[in-house]
């Protein structure tokens, strides 16, 4: 199966099912005769732009086509427990395992304003281009936060 066809199939699977792991997606592809390696699947998911969202019952993959900045900031605020700023860096504390999810969302939506992100198990470091950007990003996250 060609890459384009496989990625279209992945999109279809994600739109029709709530899947929480790459293994689940890999199993569905296998069932449909499109088995892939973990490396290929990871690359496909990154290229498609899947994100994980928190819903009742857990975290699930969802398509993030043309993400709306407001929706992404709401997602970030949903996972962020504490947002601290030092100069041009932000430190975001999350529940265990949620920092990487946030890193993907931040990289996607703030790519032109940040230098990069580093995610640990429950901490996300966001390095902004300058102090003004860091302050704006922090305020925007806090505006959307319910914490």
**What span, in angstroms and rounded, lies between the C-alpha atoms of 1 and 42?**
17
In this predicted structure, the answer to whether residue 67 has a pLDDT above a threshold of 60 is: no
**What span, in angstroms and rounded, lies between the C-alpha atoms of 72 and 65?**
12
Bigger pLDDT: 58 or 34?
Answer: 34
143: pLDDT confidence band, cut at 50, 70 and 90?
confident
Q: How much is the pLDDT for 55?
A: 77
Picking from 147, 146, 106, 145, the residue whose alpha carbon sits closest to that of residue 125 is 106
In this predicted structure, the answer to whether residue 105 has a pLDDT above a threshold of 90 is: no
Domain boundary among 63, 80, 105: 63
| Range of the structural domain that residue 135 is part of | 69-144
pTM above 0.85, yes or no: no
What are the structure tokens assigned to 140, written together? 């925007």
Does 73 share its domain with 135? yes
Domain count, the chain: 2
Domain boundary among 43, 63, 83: 63
């Amino acid at each position: 199966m060609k890459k384009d066809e496989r990625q279209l199939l992945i999109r279809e699977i994600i739109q029709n099912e709530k899947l929480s792991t790459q293994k689940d997606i890999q199993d569905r592809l296998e069932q449909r005769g499109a088995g892939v390696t973990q490396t290929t699947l990871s690359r496909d998911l990154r290229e498609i732009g899947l994100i994980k969202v928190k819903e009742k019952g857990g975290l699930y993959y969802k398509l993030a086509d043309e993400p709306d900045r407001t929706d992404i900031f709401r997602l970030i605020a949903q996972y962020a427990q504490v947002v601290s700023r030092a100069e041009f860096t932000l430190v975001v504390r999350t529940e265990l395992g949620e920092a990487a999810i946030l890193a993907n969302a931040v990289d996607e939506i703030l790519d032109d304003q940040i230098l990069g992100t580093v995610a640990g198990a429950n901490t996300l470091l966001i390095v902004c281009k300058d102090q003004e950007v860091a302050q704006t990003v922090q305020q925007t996250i806090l505006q959307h936060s319910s914490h």
